[in-house]
Structure 1
Amino acid sequence: MPGLIIGDQHDDLTSAVQQIILSSSESDYLDQLIPLLRNAHTQTQVTPLIHALNHVSADREAEIERICNTNHQEFISSVQQLQSVREGTVTLTSEIMELSRSIEASTEKLAEQKKALVDSRGVRQNIDDATQALKDCLEVLRLANQVHDLLGKKNHYAALRALDELQNVHLREVTRYKIAEMIERSVPATQGLIAEAVMTDLNTWLYRIRETSQFLGEVAFYHTEMRRARQKERAANDEYLATAKLNSPVELVADEVEEFDVLNNDEVQVDFSPLFECLHIHDALGQTDKFRSDYAATRRRQKDLLVPQTLDLLDEESAGLSSLLEGIAGFAIVEKATMAKTENFRAQTDVDELWDSMCQSAIALISSALPKVTNDDALLKIKGVIALFIQTMDSWNYPVTALDGLLLTLFEKYSNVLKTRFSEDFTEIVNTDDYMPMPIANAEEYTRVLSVSFYTPPPNPETGLEERAEDLEYPCVLPFSQMYPLVCIDIRNFLTQIYLFSDDQYFRHTTVIDNTLKEMLDDLLMNNFITLLTDRLKSQYPGQIVQILTNLDHFEAACSDIEDLLVSARSSSSAAGPISLRATTAFTTAKTQAEKRVFELVNSKIDDLIETAEYDWLSTYVPEGVSLYMQELTRYLQNIMTSVLMGLPYTIKDMMFYTALEHIGENLLSLPLDPEIIKISSQAAEAYVMDVGHIVSFVEGLDEADRPQVLLEALEELRQTTDLITLAAEGKGEMFFDSSIAGPRFGKVDKLKGAELLEKVEARRSLTAMGSVGGLGGGSGLSPTMAGGGGFEEGHAKKASTTLGDFRDRFGQFGRRG
C-alpha cells in the first residue's frame, strides 16, 4: 500500500517534471514547479521530486549522448559552426551592446531633455497660472486699496460701490486663493469704516448745522421783518390788504413775487448732501433703521444743547432771548427742510416732539426770568422778539399755541407793570398838585392843554360859539388845576402803551387787551386816583376841597370822552357796542363826597359865625346898625362867592351858595325859636329883622350872573318869618291866621313855628303895654350856644346831605348859566 502510494506519486512527479521541461519560459517553469513545492511539506516529499528531476536529467543526457554518438562529425561541425556563430554572435552582441549602450546613452540624454522640456512646460504653465492668479489678486488688491483711497478722499458712496463690486464680482474670480478669504473677511470691517467715516462727516455737518442754526434763525427773522415791512406798505396802499395778517393766504399770495430761500441765499447756505449721502450709504448697507434712530438721538442731544440753564432778560437789547429763539428757529427750520427733502426718514411725530420740547423749555426759561423784568419797554422788546419768532415759525407750519399762552402771560406782566407805573404817576400828580386853577400864559399853551385833555371850553355867551385860542385874553386861567391835563395825558399814554403790545405785531388775543385796558383803567381811576383825591377831602381848606370838586366834575364829564376813545381804539374787530366805565359812577360818588365836605366846611364856618350872635330878646332899644356877626357872615359869603366857589362849574356853585343860604336861614330861624326864649321884645324883634334884612339885601345886591332871584328862594321862609315877626310887633299878628292873607304872604312859614313866634312877640308886646318890664323873659343876653340851640345841629345835619342832584331836581328849569 505504501509502495503503491509512492509509485503513484512518482508517476505524478514524472509527469510534472515532463511538463516543466516542456515549459517555454522560466515563468512557465516556475508555474509548474510552484504547485509541487507548495505540496512538498516534508523532506520525504521533496526527495522523490529531486529523484524525478535527476531521472529526467539522466534520460536527457543519455539521449543527447546517443544523438551525439550517431552524428558526432556533424555535431562537431555544428559545434564549430556554432562556435563560429557564437563568436560572431558575441561580436555582434558586443557591437549590439555597444550600440545599445550608445542608444541608451542617447535615450537617456533625450529622456533628460524631454523631462526638462516637460518640466519647463509645467513651470511655464505654473508661471502663467501664477501670473494670472497674481493679476487677479492684484486687481482685487487694487480695488481694495481703491476703496480705502476713495474713503480717504471722502468719496464714501464711490467707496461703497467699489467695495460692492469687489465683493460681488472680483472676489468670485479668486475664490480659490486665500487672499479672497482674507478680503472677504475684511469686507464687513471696511463697510463699518465707510459707515463710520460717513457718520463722522455727518456729525461734522450736524455740528456745523448746530453752529449755523442761530445765524439761520437770524436770517429767517430778518426775512420775516422784511415781509412785515412789505405787508405794511401794501396795507397803506390797499385797504383790502390792510385786513390781511402776516402768514395769511392773502399775504402769502401777495408776497409770492419776493422769492427768498432761507436755507440758500447770500447770507447762509445749508447743503444737505452729507445727509443724503449718509442716508443712501446706510440704505445700501441695510442699516436705515439704525441710522434713523442714531440721527434722531443726535438731534435730541443737539436740541438739549440749544437751551441754556439760565436766561437774562434784563439785557437792553434782549440779546440772550434773541439768541435762544434764533437757535430754536434755525434748528426747527432744518428739521422741516429735512422732512421735505427726504422720504420716510424723519417722522412727523419726532419733529413735533422736538418742537414741543424746545418750546416748553424756552417758555419755562422765559417765565422763570420774567419776574425780574420791571420795565415796560424791556417787556415790549421781549414781546417783539417772541412775536417775530412766532410769525417766523408759523410760516413753517409749526404749532404756536403754547407760545400764544406765553404772550398772554407776558401781556399780563406788561399790563401790571404799566398799572404800577401809572399808579405811581397818579400818586405823584395828586401829591404835587397846587390845587389852584390852572394858569395859561399864551394861545400855544392853551391849544396844547386842549389837545391833551378832554376839556371842551364853554361857548361865548354873546356868539354861542366856542372861542378860539387867538380870541382869548392872556394870561387866563382854566377852572381845573394842572392835575386834570396831566391825568388826561397819562390816560392817553396808558391806552397807547397798552395797545403797543399788539400794534403792528403778532398778538391774537386782542379782546383780552380791550378788556384788560378797560378793567385796569377803571381800577386805576377808582382804586388809585379817586381814592387819593377822596383822602384829600379831609383837608380843612375849603379852597382845596372846591378845587378837588371842580377837578372831579371835569373828570366825570371826561369819562364819556374816554369811553368813546376806548371804543374807537378797540383792537378787536368782533367787539361791538358801547363801553361803560365804572369810574364814571365813582367820580359821581366822589363829587358827592366833595360836595358834602364843602357843605360841612362852609356850614361849619356859618355855624361858628351865627353862634357869636348875641341877642337880648328882652331889649328895650333898637341897635343903630346891623349886628357884627351878620356883617362877618355876609363878608364871608362874599369871599366864598368871589374866591372859594369861583372855580366851580356854575351849577355846582349855585347849588353850593343856595345850600349855604338855606343853612343860614334855618340857623337864623332857630334863634328866636329857641325853647328857652319865652318872650321877644319889639325892639329885639326889630334888631333881628334888621339883621335878616341885611343878608337878604346882600343876596339881592348880587350880580344878575349869580341869579339872586334863585338864591333868594333859600331865604324865603326866613323872610316870611321876619315879616310875621314885624306884624306881630305891630300888633297885627292875627293876619297870620287869615287864610286869604297867610297863603300868599306866609306860605313858607310853618304853622306851629309861626304861632310860637306870634305868642312870644305878642306876649312881650302885651307886657310892655301893661308896664311889666324885666324878669319875665327868662333872662336877657343869650349866650352863643343858647342862641343856636338844638335847631342848629338839626339844620346842619339836614343840609349836609344836600347833593347836586337834589339841587338840579329842584332848580333844573334855570339851566346852565350862559
Structure 2
Amino acid sequence: MDQEGQYPLTQEFQKILLSSAPSTLVSAIDAGNISSKSGTFSASDESTFDLDPQVFDKWVPFLRTSVENKNLESATDELCSSVDDNFDGLETQLLQDAKLNDKLKNSIGQISKIQDIIDNSLLQEVNDLQENLTYSTNEVIMKKQAYVSNKKTSLKISEATILITKVLQILELSNKCQELIVEADFFKALQNLDSLEKIYLQDFKNYNFQFLKEIYDSIPFLKSAIKDECINKIKNSFNVNLGKNLSHVGEATFNVYSKELVPEWLEKKDTMKLGIFKFNSPVEISLRNESTLEKINLESFFHLNEFHDSILIFQSLNQQPYLISEFTKEYNFRKTKLIDPLLWKKSQKQTSNGNLDISSDPFAQQLNLESFKAYFLKLLGFLLYDINLNKSTDFILANNNYNSTNEFWDGLLKRLEPYLKYFLNEKLKSEQELVEFKDFMGIYISILENFKVNIEPLYNILISVFGSYCQLNILELQKEFEILLNDDDFMPLTINDRTLYEKVLKICWIKEDEITKIQESAMKQNGEFIVTLPFSPLYPMTYTLLKKTYSKLVHFIGSYYRHELHTLSNTLVKTMDTIFSKVINEKIRGKLDTTSREEIAQILVNLDYFVIAAKEFSALMSKENIMQNPAMEIKLSSIRSYAESRKYAETKLIQLIDSKVSDILETVELDWQASTARNDPDISIVDIAQFLEMMFSSTLVNLPYSVQTLLIFREFDSLTSQFLEILLHGTPTHLSQESVHNFEVDMKYLESIIPRIFPTTEDESSRNVGEIQSPLTVNSPSINGFGRSINSIENNIKSLQATFTELKQCIELLKNNNFEEYADPEVRPRKYPRVRPEDANLLIRKVQQSRMHTTSSLEEENNLLPYDDSQRDGSSSRIAKFFNRH
C-alpha cells in the first residue's frame, strides 16, 4: 500500500528529473567538464551542475514528502530502478546510433560522476531541509503559543470594547432622553428609557457600576417627569384650544352655515322648485357643496397631537387609568370655566309655583341678544372640540363613554333652561328680535343635528319661540284691528278706482254669483267708475291683515322647523282661531252695544263675510298645512263664534227696531170719538210707515235676505199686534163709526207700504244701481230653497199682508151693523176666523155702547156669542205657526 501510495509520487518526480536533466547533462558533456575516472569536479564543474532554482523548486515538494515520510532512500532506489524502466529499449536505439554510442561511452563515466554528485548534493540538501524544517516547526510552535496568548487578550479587549460601547449607548440614551424631555418629545423619550432599561438589565445587572446604577435608578423619576409633562402638555393644549379659539371655531362654523350653506340652499330651492323641503333635510344635505363643507373640517381647527402621544405613553407605562383620571379632573375644571358666569352647580330660590327665581341672577340680567349669541357660539366651539377630541382618540379619554358629549350638553341645557325661558319671555320683546333669535337657533340646531348632538331641549325652545312670535303677532294685530274698527264708518264700501276694486276682489273672498252682480253693477255705470260693496272697509282691511299675519307665521316656521310639525300646526291653528274669535269677533261683538241701527246692520253684514273668511281660512290652512298631509282637514272653531255673534247682532237689531217702533207708537194719538171721517192717514201713522219703509229699503237693505225677511215679518207682526192691543184695550168703552173708519184708513196705509218694502224685479231696477245684497248665509231662504225670485217676493208680500188679517177682521166686525153674523156658525168661520170670541165680545160691546144701546142682558150676549175655544184655536193656529208665533 505504501509503495502504491509512493509510486505515483516517484513517477511524477521522475518526470520532473527527466525533464530537467537533459539540458544539464548535455551542456556538461559538451563542455567536457566531467571526468569519468577521477570522480571529482572542479569549481567550474560545480557551477556546471548548479540546478536552476526554478527546477529545484519543483523537486522540493517531493523531497519534503520523502523526508517527512522517512523514505528518502527508498525513493532514491525507486528512482534508480525507474531509470532502468524509463530507459528500457533505449540501449538498442543507442547502439544503432554510432555517434551516440560514442558519446555514451564517453559519458558513462560522467554519468557515474553525476550520480555521485547528485547523491551527495541531495543528501546535503535533505539534511539542510531537515534542519530548516525543525527550526520552522519550533518557530511555529512558539508563534502559536503567542497567538493563543494574544487571542485571549484580544477577546478580553473585544469584550471590554463591547462593554464600553454599551456603556456609551446607555449614556447616550440617557442624554438623548433628557434632550427629548426638554424638547417635549415624550414618546421617543420613553422609548429611549425602555431601551436603556433593557440594556442595563441584560448586560449590567451583575456589574457593580455605580454611575450606571444611578442612571438606572433615575428611570422611574424620568418616567414620572414624562407623565407630569404629558399632563402639563394637555393642560397647555386646553389653554390654547379652550380659550378664545372656541369662539372663533363657533363663529367660523356658524358663518359657513348662515352665509354660505343657507343662501346656496335657498338659491337651489328656488331653481329646482324644492319648496316642500327645508334646510338641513336629507335632500338639502345631499346637495351641499363639498368645498364649502371642507371649511368646517374640525381637524383644521384643533391640533390634538399631544393627546395621541399621551395615550401612547400611558399605554406603554400601563397607566392609562391615571391619564383618564387626571384628564377628567382637568377637563371638568375647564368645563366649569367654560360656562362662566353660569355656575355648574348652584342653589337657587324657588318661587311659589316651584319655578326657579332667576330674576336677580347676574347672568340673567346681563343677557341680551348679542351676549346670548356670543355665549352659545363659545359653547358650540366647545362641543365641536369635544366631539373631535373623543372621535380622534377613539373615546379612550372619555373612558369609552360614547355619549359623553350629549351627557354634558344635556346637563348644561338643564341648567340653562330657566335662563333661556327668562331670556325668551323677558328680553325678546320685538318681532325683529324674535326673528333674529329664531334664525340663530335654527342654524345652531342644524349644526348640532349634523354632529349628532341632542337637539330636543333647544328645539323645544325654538317651538316656544314660535309661540311667543304668535302671541306678539296677536297683540300687534289686535292693536291694528282696534284702529281699523274705530276708524270704520260702518257703511257699505264705495270704490271709484277700478284697480282698487280689483285688488279688493282679489283679497276678499266673495261668492261667484255675488262677483257677477258686482261686476254687472259696475258695468252699468256711465262715465266714472263707481261700485258699492255690501261690507264696510273693515272687512277687506281686516282680511288683508289676517292674510299678512298668516303669511308671516307660515314664513317664520318655513326654514328651520323640521320636527314636531303637529305641535307647530296646532299652535298655528290655535293662533288664527284666537285672532278670529278672541280679537276680531269679540271686538266686533263689543260694538253691538251701540244704539245705532245702521252700525248694527252693517256689523251683521260684516259678520256674514267674516263667517266666510273663517271658512275660507279653514280651507286654506287645510290645503297648505305645514304637515304636508293632503288628508288633513282644519276647521276653525271661530266659525261657530261668528255664527253666535251674528245671532246676537240679529237680536240686538230686532230689539232696537222694536224699541224704536214702540217709541213711535207711543206718540200715536187716535181720536176714537171723531165725528168726521177722513180718507188720508193720520200723520203719526205716516211717520210709522215712512220709518219702516226707510229702514227696510235703505238702512237694512244690505242685510242678508233672510234677516231682512225675519225683521220685516217680526216688525209688522209686532206692529199689527200692538194696534190690535190698542183697539181692544187702549180705546174707550164706546167708539164712533167715524173713528173706526179712520182707523181702517190708517191700517190700510200701513199695509200699502208692504210692496215697496219687498220690491219686484221692475222696482229693483229703479233703486240705486250701486246697492247690492250681501251673500246668502246658511239661514238665508235662498239656501233653504226659497230663492229671492219674483214668486218668493209675491209670496212674502201675501204672507206679510196676512199679518193684518186679524186686525182687518176686527175692524170689519166693528163696521158691520149685523152683529148676528159673528154668532152664525156658518158665517163666522168664513168672515171672522181670526177674531177670538172674547175680543169680539169686547168690540161689539164698544160699538153697541156707541149706538146708545146702554143696556143689554147677559142672556142676549150669550145668544150673540155662541162659540167655543176649539173653533178659535183651529182657525188661528195655522197663521201662528207660519209666523213662528207661540
TM-score > 0.5, shorter chain as reference: yes
- Alignment-derived partner of residue 217 in structure 1: 250
> Are the structure 2 counterparts of residues 302 and 735 from structure 1 closer, same or farther at C-alpha, using a change threshold of 3 Å?
farther
Aligned partner (choices 779, 785, 802) of residue 716 of structure 1? 802
Task: Return the offset for 1:673.
Answer: 0.9
- Whole-Å separation in 1 of the counterparts to 2:433 and 2:524: 40
- Whole-Å separation in 2 of the counterparts to 1:461 and 1:358: 64
- Alignment-derived partner of residue 182 in structure 2: 152
Counterpart of 2:218 in 1: which secondary structure?
helix
Contact 1:511 1:575 in 2 (8 A): no
Aligned partner (choices 283, 287, 309) of residue 315 of structure 2? 283
- Whole-Å separation in 2 of the counterparts to 1:548 and 1:525: 15
- Alignment-derived partner of residue 70 in structure 2: none
- Alignment-derived partner of residue 12 in structure 1: none
Task: Return the offset for 1:632.
Answer: 1.6
- Alignment-derived partner of residue 725 in structure 2: 670
> Are the structure 2 counterparts of residues 655 and 514 from structure 1 closer, same or farther at C-alpha, using a change threshold of 3 Å?
same
Matched, 1:335 2:335: no
Task: Return the offset for 1:503.
Answer: 0.9
Counterpart of 2:303 in 1: which secondary structure?
coil
Paired residue type of 2:593: K
Gap runs ≥5 in structure 1: 1-126, 773-804, 811-818
- Whole-Å separation in 1 of the counterparts to 2:679 and 2:617: 60
- Whole-Å separation in 1 of the counterparts to 2:491 and 2:521: 24
Q: How does 1:516-527 map to 2 (within 5 A)?
A: 516-527=571-582
Q: Deviation per CA, 1:553-612, whole angstroms, max 9, x where unpaired? A: 221232221211221231124583432322222212211221121112212111111112
Counterpart of 1:673 in 2: which secondary structure?
helix
Contact 2:521 2:531 in 1 (8 A): no
- Whole-Å separation in 1 of the counterparts to 2:734 and 2:420: 87
- Alignment-derived partner of residue 548 in structure 2: 493
- Alignment-derived partner of residue 750 in structure 1: 835
Counterpart of 1:671 in 2: which secondary structure?
helix
> Are the structure 2 counterparts of residues 249 and 645 from structure 1 closer, same or farther at C-alpha, using a change threshold of 3 Å?
closer
- Whole-Å separation in 2 of the counterparts to 1:461 and 1:159: 95
- Alignment-derived partner of residue 354 in structure 1: 408
> Are the structure 2 counterparts of residues 436 and 615 from structure 1 closer, same or farther at C-alpha, using a change threshold of 3 Å?
same
> Are the structure 2 counterparts of residues 290 and 472 from structure 1 closer, same or farther at C-alpha, using a change threshold of 3 Å?
farther
- Whole-Å separation in 2 of the counterparts to 1:162 and 1:507: 57
- Whole-Å separation in 2 of the counterparts to 1:806 and 1:261: 83
Matched, 1:195 2:243: no
Matched, 1:366 2:399: no
> Are the structure 2 counterparts of residues 756 and 297 from structure 1 closer, same or farther at C-alpha, using a change threshold of 3 Å?
farther
- Alignment-derived partner of residue 472 in structure 2: 417
Aligned partner (choices 176, 191, 194) of residue 161 of structure 1? 191
> Are the structure 2 counterparts of residues 155 and 437 from structure 1 closer, same or farther at C-alpha, using a change threshold of 3 Å?
same
- Alignment-derived partner of residue 511 in structure 1: 566
Matched, 1:481 2:524: no
- Alignment-derived partner of residue 377 in structure 2: 326
- Alignment-derived partner of residue 852 in structure 2: 767
Aligned partner (choices 788, 808, 811) of residue 725 of structure 1? 811
- Whole-Å separation in 1 of the counterparts to 2:375 and 2:238: 18
> Are the structure 2 counterparts of residues 330 and 185 from structure 1 closer, same or farther at C-alpha, using a change threshold of 3 Å?
same
> Are the structure 2 counterparts of residues 471 and 743 from structure 1 closer, same or farther at C-alpha, using a change threshold of 3 Å?
farther
Counterpart of 1:622 in 2: which secondary structure?
coil
- Whole-Å separation in 1 of the counterparts to 2:572 and 2:527: 37
Paired residue type of 2:611: E
Q: Deviation per CA, 1:761-815, whole angstroms, max 9, x where unpaired? A: 64156338x999xxxxxxxxxxxxxxxxxxxxxxxxxxxxxxxx998x99xxxxx
Contact 1:681 1:761 in 2 (8 A): no
> Are the structure 2 counterparts of residues 471 and 590 from structure 1 closer, same or farther at C-alpha, using a change threshold of 3 Å?
farther
Matched, 1:264 2:264: no
- Whole-Å separation in 1 of the counterparts to 2:555 and 2:697: 47
Contact 1:171 1:180 in 2 (8 A): no
Task: Return the offset for 1:165.
Answer: 3.0
- Alignment-derived partner of residue 783 in structure 1: none
- Whole-Å separation in 2 of the counterparts to 1:170 and 1:717: 131
Counterpart of 1:439 in 2: which secondary structure?
strand
Counterpart of 1:260 in 2: which secondary structure?
helix
Matched, 1:299 2:299: no
Contact 1:313 1:370 in 2 (8 A): no
- Whole-Å separation in 2 of the counterparts to 1:490 and 1:313: 36
Paired residue type of 1:154: A
Q: Deviation per CA, 1:159-200, whole angstroms, max 9, x where unpaired? A: 333333333336876763332233233323322333333333
Task: Return the offset for 1:138.
Answer: 6.4
TM-score, structure 2 normalization: 0.65
Q: Deviation per CA, 1:353-395, whole angstroms, max 9, x where unpaired? A: 2232233234343123222123343233323322222222222
- Whole-Å separation in 2 of the counterparts to 1:587 and 1:740: 53
Contact 1:147 1:160 in 2 (8 A): yes
- Whole-Å separation in 2 of the counterparts to 1:740 and 1:255: 98
- Whole-Å separation in 2 of the counterparts to 1:744 and 1:351: 98
- Whole-Å separation in 2 of the counterparts to 1:408 and 1:143: 64
- Whole-Å separation in 2 of the counterparts to 1:720 and 1:128: 151
Task: Return the offset for 1:739.
Answer: 6.9
- Whole-Å separation in 1 of the counterparts to 2:395 and 2:813: 116
> Are the structure 2 counterparts of residues 129 and 457 from structure 1 closer, same or farther at C-alpha, using a change threshold of 3 Å?
closer
Sequence identity percentage: 19
Q: Deviation per CA, 1:497-546, whole angstroms, max 9, x where unpaired? A: 33334212134111112222333333333334322222222212212222
> Are the structure 2 counterparts of residues 248 and 540 from structure 1 closer, same or farther at C-alpha, using a change threshold of 3 Å?
closer
Task: Return the offset for 1:637.
Answer: 2.0
Contact 2:522 2:531 in 1 (8 A): no
Task: Return the offset for 1:131.
Answer: 11
Paired residue type of 2:251: E
Q: How does 1:359-438 map to 2 (within 5 A)?
A: 359-372=413-426, 373-438=428-493
> Are the structure 2 counterparts of residues 541 and 391 from structure 1 closer, same or farther at C-alpha, using a change threshold of 3 Å?
same
Matched, 1:683 2:716: no
- Whole-Å separation in 1 of the counterparts to 2:693 and 2:406: 81
- Whole-Å separation in 1 of the counterparts to 2:733 and 2:246: 104
- Alignment-derived partner of residue 36 in structure 1: none
Contact 1:530 1:590 in 2 (8 A): yes
CA RMSD across the alignment:
4.0
Paired residue type of 2:799: E
Paired residue type of 2:545: D
Counterpart of 2:851 in 1: which secondary structure?
helix
Q: How does 1:171-210 map to 2 (within 5 A)?
A: 176-210=208-242
- Whole-Å separation in 2 of the counterparts to 1:806 and 1:329: 77
- Whole-Å separation in 2 of the counterparts to 1:451 and 1:502: 26
- Whole-Å separation in 2 of the counterparts to 1:571 and 1:312: 37
- Whole-Å separation in 2 of the counterparts to 1:248 and 1:425: 37
Paired residue type of 2:412: M
> Are the structure 2 counterparts of residues 695 and 575 from structure 1 closer, same or farther at C-alpha, using a change threshold of 3 Å?
same
- Alignment-derived partner of residue 619 in structure 1: 674
Counterpart of 1:367 in 2: which secondary structure?
helix
TM-score, structure 1 normalization: 0.70
Gap runs ≥5 in structure 2: 1-156, 343-362, 765-792, 857-880
Q: Number of matched residues?
A: 646
Matched, 1:589 2:644: yes
Contact 1:700 1:709 in 2 (8 A): no
Q: Deviation per CA, 1:611-633, whole angstroms, max 9, x where unpaired? A: 12222323222246421211221
